[in-house]
Amino acid sequence: MKPWTTLFLFLSVLSGVFAAKSTPDKFQKFHSLSRSGPVDLDNASFEDLTTAPRDYYAAVILTAMDARYGCLMCREFDAEWDLISRSWNKGSKLDGLKVVFGTLDFDKGKTVFQKYMLQTAPVLLLFPPTVGPFAKVEAEPVRFDFTGPISADQLYSWINRHLPDGPKPVLVRPVNYMRIVSGITILMGAVTLFTVLYPYVLPIIQNRNLWAAVSLIAILLFTSGQMFNHIRKVPYVAGDGRGGISYFAGGFQNQFGMETQIIAAIYAILSFATIALALKVPRMEDVKGQQLAVLIWGGILFGTYSLLLSVFKTKNGGYPFYLPPF
Amino acid sequence: MSVFCSPPAFSGLTALAMYLLTCEMSTSPSAGLLAAAFMGITPGYISRSVAGSYDNEAIAIFLLVFTFYLWIKAVKNGSIMWGALTALFYGYMVSAWGGYVFITNLIPLHVFVLICMGRYSSRTYIAYTTWYALGTLGSMQIPFVGFLPIRNSDHMSALGVFGLIQLVAFADFIRGFLPGKQFQKLLTSMILLIVGLGFGGLILLSVSGVIAPWSGRFYSLWDTGYAKIHIPIIASVSEHQPTAWPAFFFDLNFLIWLFPAGVFLCFQKLKDEHVFVIIYAVLSSYFAGVMVRLMLTLTPIVCVAAGLALSGVLDQFLVMSKPTAETKAKANAKDSKAYGKMSSPVVGIYSYFSKAFVSGSMTLYLLMFVAHCTWVTSNAYSSPSVVLASRLPDGSQHIIDDYREAYYWLRQNTPDNAKIMSWWDYGYQIGGMADRPTLVDNNTWNNTHIATVGKAMSSREEVSYPILRQHDVDYVLVVFGGLLGYSGDDLNKFLWMVRIAEGIWPDEIKERDFFTARGEYRVDDEATPTMKNSLMYKMSYYNYQSLFPPGQAVDRVRGTKVPTESPTLDTMEEAFTSENWIIRIFKVKDLDNLGRDHSNAVAFDKGLKRKRAAKRKGPRVLRTE
């Protein structure tokens, strides 16, 4: 038993020595690891990969995948990076052009992050070869900073610009058969469901009040700035610094999610009061009742409009107009 | 002069068109008058139609409203004449404004919805086919459009509906000859076949590249995150930002809450033309929410709907006579065919107090609307953007007139053909007020041109100078607000210049280089070297430190201290700086007479000893060439 272990140890040491000595072997080692996506690196293997005599390009993404770091971009880009690596290994490329794709997670490679003084993630480092046909004089890695969410295509074209000219593999997104199949299934299911339910659904679809409600709600949402919330991702409410809630954001160009809902509600009340005055009230046959309805709806209209004006005044300090109650 | 006068003149025509359009929607004559009055003064439209504004959008909105009026007429009457007139004005619209795509898609959508509602009639067929055939031919005459109507996805819906309406017309024709059951079978199989063929064909053509994908500007309306990533030039324009709710109220005042009420009234009547109002209302309120600029297309429909709603109220409450038993009976007979909850007949308003209360408060709202519009127009839209007004501590008005001062200087002191480079926002003003050619102006849609200016501004002098020479630039103009605290200056727009330049030259300009290691955009001592060496930074802060006691120079916009040493400029010299330093103009130096490069020449002038680049070491070699 014992002699065998020693032998194995000896052999593995030997192979390690050989690998460090001759770069083609080093490339082979990493290349074989990267058959299924980018190589997972740690401090030691990163050093091994990037030490000086290398006849290949090394593209390493330094990332922080763990949920603790809250790096959304790292997690989003991981799949894309996988895609780049796979596409490269599959396609045909220039003779002798070798690229190793690697991923170094912050958990496994804190020293590397310190070495390159990185404070943000993800960062892509592209090490040019030092020997071989494509060797570059300066061995310093080229750095790509992620300034926002980008797709694999953008990064791939960046990498390609730094590689020597010549044929390169095309980035191929795998066809998502699962998605196509499930899409077709859902579509057919929907068609079936529709055919079965047709007699019941038809009156709903043809219901004028339903369409009116949907349209009016859409209009109220859009005109109260819902799309602004969606695009700018504003907070729903914010504290006012004294433990309470401030419902209205300061400034003309800001708003909170709840603020827009309040405004939409105000618009809805005002519109409904107008509709009531125009359509409901003139159809009332009771004299007293009509008088009362006019007073109520007119009063609501007046009060709510006054509230709206006062809210607008808080948003726009110099606004000179107001109505009495508020 | 014609440029100066045309916006108000067209605004008058717009009000007229608005009256006609609204009268098509309602039997009450007051609705049209109210809508026209609203259109005349609402700030959402006045922003484009004040005298002196340079935009052709005032004309575009008139054409939009009038085209829609003609379209409604065409649908109502089913007449070729109205359809042809629609096409004529549509063609005019195409030549005037890129927003014609809105009409191109709205009219087909209207027809499509009508077909889905089972309201197909020969009138719709005649109106639509006439408009589509003539309008498309007309628009293809415009060089800018060319063959887009049959190749671009923006126009595909119009083509698709054109095909659809032929099929529907055919089915309608067949229906007269076949018994019901056979017709049903034929119809179902035909629909399946056509949809399958059409869908497959569309995919095939898109993949093979015959049909272009959606144009970027249009696409950014649907996927709101798209522009930010892919087309910085669109995202950079402040008018392309989403709209916060105060902007709606600011531009439309109480029309904004009459608007849903008016749309509801349209649902009550729901004839063909009301369907149009509803579709237009929903779509354009979405668009206005996504882009501030598209508030312009929302304004007309808001005026129509608000006119309908307000006339609905006033028509009831402004009648002097009280309802009697006789009118009640009449109303009963007349309204018996009405539907839904509102089926009880209209009797009218009994008491004078109710009438006075409602019409009084409505009059109050109307008066406030007028006051609001006057206030907004005088505060926000009529003060020309080239003159800034500020209040001094004692309350008196102080006019900051740096723009005009600088443009006048350019006009007086530079040769007629001197080329000025500035960021594109100032192109029109320089062209109009200083009468000098510019590299890019507000109407430049060539991304590369704008990116070239961005590159020149954001690169080092050694890189920028050849660019400036290549483009024959004589003067460079920058806007700097640091002294006055004017936040709309070029350093605040600088990142957009960098981004746009990066889109074309990603290897040379990198946005990341302008941020410090901690990701901050700084202009003080800790600014990145790239930032400090950029032409824009140098021009902005050149000699700025001399205004302050040593070490105390402050930038009032960014609220930071600026470096004690002034940046050096080798390839340009300061030509003019306005009173409040808002405009700074630099002259691009000519090539040096002695053939030195500019940094050497400047060093020589300063009396510095010439630096030898590197002492040659090693033995001398004979030149072999």
Domains and CATH numbers, chain A: 13-162 (3.40.30.10), 207-315 (no CATH)
Q: Are residues B293 and B421 in the same domain?
A: no
Per-residue pLDDT of A212-269, as tens digits, reads 999 999 999 999 988 888 888 888 888 777 777 888 887 777 888 889 999 999 999 9
Where a domain ends, among B326, B347, B365? B326
Per-residue pLDDT of B240-297, as tens digits, reads 788 889 999 999 989 999 999 999 999 998 889 999 999 999 999 998 888 888 888 9
Q: Looking only at Cα atoms, what is the longest distance across chain A? A: 112
Residue B336 located in a structural domain: no
Where a domain ends, among B326, B348, B376? B326
Q: Is the dihedral of CA B479, B485, B491, B494 positive or negative?
A: negative
> Is the Cβ pair A321, B346 closer than 8 Å?
no
Residue B502 located in a structural domain: yes
Per-residue pLDDT of B390-400, as tens digits, reads 777 776 777 88
Q: Which residue range forms the structural domain that includes residue B262?
A: 2-326
Query: Is the pLDDT reported for residue A307 higher than 60?
Result: yes
Residue B182 located in a structural domain: yes
Q: Are residues B410 and B506 in the same domain?
A: yes
Q: Are residues B456 and B319 in the same domain?
A: no
> Is the Cβ pair A119, B517 closer than 8 Å?
yes
pLDDT value of position A285: 82
Residue B341 located in a structural domain: no
Quick one: pLDDT band at residue B221, thresholds 50, 70, 90?
Answer: low
- C-alpha span between B555 and B541 (Å, rounded): 9
Cis peptide before A122 (omega within 30 of 0): yes
Size of interface A-B (CB pairs under 8 A): 186
Per-residue pLDDT of B430-468, as tens digits, reads 887 888 888 887 766 677 888 888 899 999 988 899 889
Q: Sort B562 into a burial class: Cβ within 10 Å, 0-12 / 13-18 / 19+.
A: buried
Element (H, E) at B73: helix B57-77
Q: Are residues B98 and B246 in the same domain?
A: yes
Q: Are residues B315 and B426 in the same domain?
A: no
Q: Are residues B299 and B433 in the same domain?
A: no
Angle A6-A7-A11 from CA coordinates, rounded to 5°: 115
**CATH number for the domain including B482?**
3.40.50.12610
- Which two three-digit tokens encode residue B538? 């140098």
Name beta bridge partners: A246.
A238
Query: What's the total number of domains in chain B?
Result: 2
Nearest 10 degrees: Cα torsion B502, B508, B510, B514: -120
Residue B517 located in a structural domain: yes
Query: Length of chain A, please?
Result: 326
Share of chain A above pLDDT 70, in %: 91
Per-residue pLDDT of B557-582, as tens digits, reads 888 888 888 888 888 888 999 888 88
Q: Are residues B316 and B412 in the same domain?
A: no
Where a domain ends, among B296, B326, B356? B326
Quick one: pLDDT band at residue B54, thresholds 50, 70, 90?
Answer: low
Report the chain A residue with the minimal C-alpha distance to residue B116: A206
Q: Are residues B405 and B314 in the same domain?
A: no
Q: Are residues B438 and B572 in the same domain?
A: yes
Q: How many Å separate Cα B378 from the centre of its chain?
A: 21
Angle B522-B523-B524 from CA coordinates, rounded to 5°: 100
Q: How many Å separate Cα B135 from the centre of its chain?
A: 24
- C-alpha span between B326 and B573 (Å, rounded): 89
| Count of other CB atoms within 10 angstroms of residue B349 | 24
Q: Give the residue from A144, A220, A223 with the most B CB atoms within 10 Å of its CB, the best one to mutate.
A: A223
A2-41 core/surface letters (b: 16 or more CB in 10 A; e: else): eeeeeeeeeeeeeeeeebeeebeebbebbbebbeebbbeb
Answer yes or no: are the C-beta atoms of B405 and B583 closer than 8 Å. yes
Q: DSSP class of residue B613?
A: S
- pTM for the predicted model, two decimal places: 0.73
Give contacts of A287 with chain B, Cβ < 8 Å: 350-351
B413 Cα to chain A: minimum distance (Å): 41
- Which two three-digit tokens encode residue A40? 């997972």
- Complex ipTM above 0.85? no
Average pLDDT over residues A147-152: 72
B322 Cα to chain A: minimum distance (Å): 11
Residue B395 located in a structural domain: no
Unique residue bearing structure tokens 């066809």: A175
> Is the Cβ pair B328, A285 closer than 8 Å?
yes
Residue B350 located in a structural domain: no
Q: Are residues B470 and B567 in the same domain?
A: yes
Residue B362 located in a structural domain: no
Q: Are residues B285 and B423 in the same domain?
A: no
